[in-house]
Amino acid sequence: MVPLSWYLILSAALFAIGAVGVFVKNNIISTLLCLELMLNAANLAFVAFSIFQGTIEGQLFVILVMAVAAAEAGVGLAIVIALFRNRETLDVDESSLLKL
Amino acid sequence: MLPLLVELPPLPTLRDTAFIMPEIILTLFAGAALVLDVALPRSKKHLTAYFSLIGLAFVAIALAQQVAMTASLLPISAFYGMLFIDGLSVVFRFVFIVAAAFSILYSIKYLEFEREQRGEYYALILFSTLGMMFVATSGDLIALFVSFELMSLSVYVLVGYFKRDKRSNEAAMKYFLTGIFSSALMLYGLSLVYGVTGHTNLGLISETIAGYVQGGTAESGDPRLLLMVALVLVAAGLLFKIAAVPFHMWAPDAYEGAPTTVTAFMSVGPKAGAYVLLARMLLFALAPMREMENLPGWAALLAVVAVLTMTVGNLAAVTQDNVKRLLAYSSIAHAGYILLGIVSGTDMGYQGVAFHIMTYTLMNTGVFAIIIALHRQGVIGENLNDLNGLFSRAPSAAVLMLIFILGLAGIPSTAGFVGKFFLFGSLIQSGKPWLTYIAIIAVLNAVVAFYYYARFARAMFLNAPSENIADASPLLLAPSVRITLTLSAIAVLFFGIYPQPLINVADIVAQSITTVYAQSSGIALR
Amino acid sequence: MVPTVFFLLQQTATDTPARGPIMGYIPIALLFAISLAIPVGALTVGRFFRRTVMTQEKMMPYECGVDPVGDARDRISVRYYIIAMLFLIFDVETIFLFPWAVVFDQLALFGLIEALIFIAILVVGYYYAWRKGALDWA
């Protein structure tokens, strides 16, 4: 049986990769992928905890998070399409109409 | 190991369903608003707005039947603890309904003017409100997370509602990316909370953590350390949502780029929803971690954030010329004030939080309503200079604006002052020296804030109208908007002079926060 | 005692997943067989009744109606994204029907009504997308 630590290390690694990716990627689609990676890292942790504790709530949570992630991907793609129609670029760094 | 077939508890009954009647009605109306949008011809789309307002009225009536429940401070749990209803949830759901209704009312003319009158706008506001209402009734991490996402997702779409406007697109993208990032942080934190405690029910989590904090450390290590990691992740996600420093950078961009009516909505509705989530997480689920032995609790963390938030927010607001950006920074500063009430941990502080959120809703939507009205008059109305000479052009609008601005600044005899008095006073009342120092910083901040709020007054009353104003005719506010604005202004003044009725309402919230925590084990499951 | 963040990591699951007798998998085997039989059967029966007319388009490798020859980095029509978005959302929503299917007989009428309400909410979204023209290809 694979110990819990392995799942958690994998989950933490995926989360870290996603979090770093959000900051270093320039393309919005890549950023979206990294965000999904972060959500799924959390999902992995939920499932692992759920199995090892013998409680069902974690798996329930994962099902709902998957639906939420799909809705997020839908909204994100819609925003990307609107942005691309107006600007013809998906580079985050070129979005600078709003000054900081 | 999980059994394959779980023995089911008795099914939810009509009793449970009755508790979510306001939400059911809102779901029906939101869905119907979507259908109406495609069914109505282009010239009649604005009817969806009135339809949505009627829906909100029905929701308020259904909610009014739950008011009696706040008399007994014990929360009522439904759907096996997935939802629970207490004073906080009833009061804040009224706040959400008012925020949504005001936003819809102020949007009708604006969208007509922008030729973007579509029913989906109102449906999205209703869906967002639905999410907020479920945030306020959730007693479980699952329900909290899903309803919070419903609220946020609707607002992401609303920010990008002007899909041909590049600024709106860009604001939506920034808001969306930071929003999802913070959700992911929070979700990972929640997974750790679940892992350490083995529960998703807020009451059971609170109970389990209390056991850990009181020295019941497991032989295999100190669970508090993992809980600290979880706390930091959850807090980071929550602070993102309320735009607290250092997670505030998205707010000015999103506020500026969004359609002004959406800015008005998101500065009060979803903001209040995020505060409720913060209260539920920190004051209920993670409440035992406020102060811990040998380890910093969240009170210290939040105190640092609160001080930074109000200082950065106020100082940055001073240099702004764009009204929407200025109000964004002002709302960041107000987030700092509200965090103070949570840091203080006294009844007075919680009353201040509730009182300030309620009055802030009135004042902020009021300010935005005037800015929206300026926009209709061929003046862009987004620059502070556009307010020049407003008093000579439209005296009543200028006076209303002045009342709301003075309220935001917290001048005595306005409701804004009472809120700040409670928030700052609670720090001193708590009797801890370090909180007293924070109170002094907060008061200094309020003085800085006077400066930029006074710029509004100077522009409106002292400056001469600019030449580049295309339309010098007085502002035309729709009668319904004018009545609502006048009533809000009267309320701001009335509750500034005689705040007792609103304090009583705020006290319901404060009492329910303290009672819920004290009774956490009693309400875990029905 | 050295406090460790990973205090949970030392836990291991005490027993393996409940493994019933192999007979428990018969319904799955049946499902597999039936789902294999339907397409095979349909294609076989169709073979006897259909006319076979081979045209240029029909003989081309199938690529969802797009010309299979050309630059792979071609710009793809935005309509694909809209269809993909709708598919993504409606596809994932079915995830909620699986837990319901597991306890279908225990939930009985109550579960059926709940599921129907859930589907009704989805239908509102579907109707909206349809009337908005998101499903039109023209």
| Residues in CB range of C25: below 8 A, 6 or more apart | none
C67 within domain boundaries: yes
What end-to-end distance do the CA atoms of chain C give, in Å?
70
Interfacial residues of C (vs A; Cβ cutoff 8 Å): 6, 8-13, 16, 78, 81-82, 84-86, 88-89, 91-93, 95-96, 98-99
Mean pLDDT of C74-93: 81
Amino acid making up residue B84: F
What is the predicted pLDDT for the residue at C50?
85
Mean pLDDT of chain B: 85
Shortest Cα distance, chain B CAs vs residue C107, angstroms: 8
C95 within domain boundaries: yes
Residue B306 confidence class, pLDDT cut points 50, 70, 90: very high
CA gap C89, C122 in Å, rounded: 10
B502 within domain boundaries: yes
Instruction: Classify residue A22 as exposed, middle or buried by CB count within 10 Å of its CB (0-12, 13-18, 19+).
Output: buried
Shortest Cα distance, chain B CAs vs residue C42, angstroms: 36
C107: domain CATH number?
1.20.58
Q: How many domains are there within chain C?
A: 1
pLDDT tens string A27-73: 888 899 999 999 999 999 999 999 888 888 898 899 999 999 999 99
Q: With 80 as the cut, is the pLDDT of residue C64 above it?
A: no
Residue span of the structural domain in which B100 resides:
22-518
C43 within domain boundaries: yes
Are C6 and A51 in contact (CB < 8 Å)?
no
The larger pLDDT score, comparing residue C81 to residue A14, is at A14
| Lowest-confidence region among A8-12, B97-101, B449-453 | B449-453
What is the predicted pLDDT for the residue at B322?
87
Share of chain A above pLDDT 70, in %: 87
Residue B41 confidence class, pLDDT cut points 50, 70, 90: confident
C18 within domain boundaries: no
Highest mean pLDDT among A33-37, B165-169, B226-230, B521-525: A33-37
A-C C-beta contacts closer than 8 Å: 54
Instruction: Classify residue A26 as exposed, middle or buried by CB count within 10 Å of its CB (0-12, 13-18, 19+).
Output: exposed
CA gap B123, B27 in Å, rounded: 10
Mean pLDDT of B50-79: 85
Mean pLDDT of B123-133: 94
B15 within domain boundaries: no
**CB within 8 Å of chain A, chain B residues 168-227:** 169-174, 176-177, 180-181, 183-185, 187-188, 190-192, 194-195, 198-200
CA gap A75, A7 in Å, rounded: 30
Angle at the Cα of B91 from the Cα atoms of B89 and B95, rounded to 5 degrees: 110
The larger pLDDT score, comparing residue B467 to residue B382, is at B382
Q: With 50 as the cut, is the pLDDT of residue C12 above it?
A: no
The larger pLDDT score, comparing residue A54 to residue B381, is at A54
Q: What residues of chain B lie within 8 A of the CB of C7, using their CB? A: 218, 220-223, 225-226
What is the predicted pLDDT for the residue at B22?
92
CA gap B108, B245 in Å, rounded: 34
What is the biggest distance separating any 2 CA atoms in chain A, rounded to whole angstroms? 54
Q: With 50 as the cut, is the pLDDT of residue B3 above it?
A: no
Task: Calculate the CA B63 to chain-centre distance.
Answer: 19
Residue span of the structural domain in which C79 resides:
26-131
Mean pLDDT of B384-392: 79
What is the predicted pLDDT for the residue at B394?
80
What is the predicted pLDDT for the residue at A56?
86
Output DSSP code: residue B464: P
Q: How many domains are there within chain B?
A: 1
CATH topology of domain A4-87: Helix Hairpins (1.10.287)
Handedness of CA B106, B108, B113, B117 (dihedral sign): positive
Cβ–Cβ < 8 Å for B190, B202: no
B526 within domain boundaries: no
Residue B18 confidence class, pLDDT cut points 50, 70, 90: confident
B232 within domain boundaries: yes
What is the predicted pLDDT for the residue at C4?
40
What is the predicted pLDDT for the residue at B482?
86
Are B174 and A55 in contact (CB < 8 Å)?
no
β-strand partners of A27? A91
Give the CA count within 13 Å in the CB-facing half-sphere of B435.
Answer: 23
B17 within domain boundaries: no
Domain layout of chain A by residue ranges = 4-87
Q: With 90 as the cut, is the pLDDT of residue B288 above it?
A: no
Handedness of CA B475, B480, B481, B483 (dihedral sign): positive
The kind and range of the H/E element at B76 are strand B76-78
Place of tokens 């929701």: B59
Residue B133 confidence class, pLDDT cut points 50, 70, 90: very high
Q: With 90 as the cut, is the pLDDT of residue A1 above it?
A: no
Share of chain B above pLDDT 70, in %: 90
Mean pLDDT of B328-357: 92
Residues in chain A: 100
Q: With 90 as the cut, is the pLDDT of residue B27 above it?
A: yes
Chain A: residue whose CA lies nearest to B82: A57
Highest mean pLDDT among A69-78, B12-21, B71-80, C108-117: A69-78
Mean pLDDT of B128-149: 93
Cβ–Cβ < 8 Å for C86, C129: yes
Handedness of CA C68, C70, C71, C76 (dihedral sign): negative
Return phi, psi of residue B106, to 5°.
-75, -15
What is the predicted pLDDT for the residue at B289?
84
Cβ–Cβ < 8 Å for A38, B181: yes
Q: Return the SS3 of B138.
A: strand
C59 within domain boundaries: yes
CA gap B60, B100 in Å, rounded: 12
Mean pLDDT of B457-484: 72
Q: With 60 as the cut, is the pLDDT of residue B64 above it?
A: yes
Shortest Cα distance, chain B CAs vs residue A49, angstroms: 5
Task: Say what the pTM is.
Answer: 0.88
Candidates B3, B120, B223; nearest CB to C7? B223
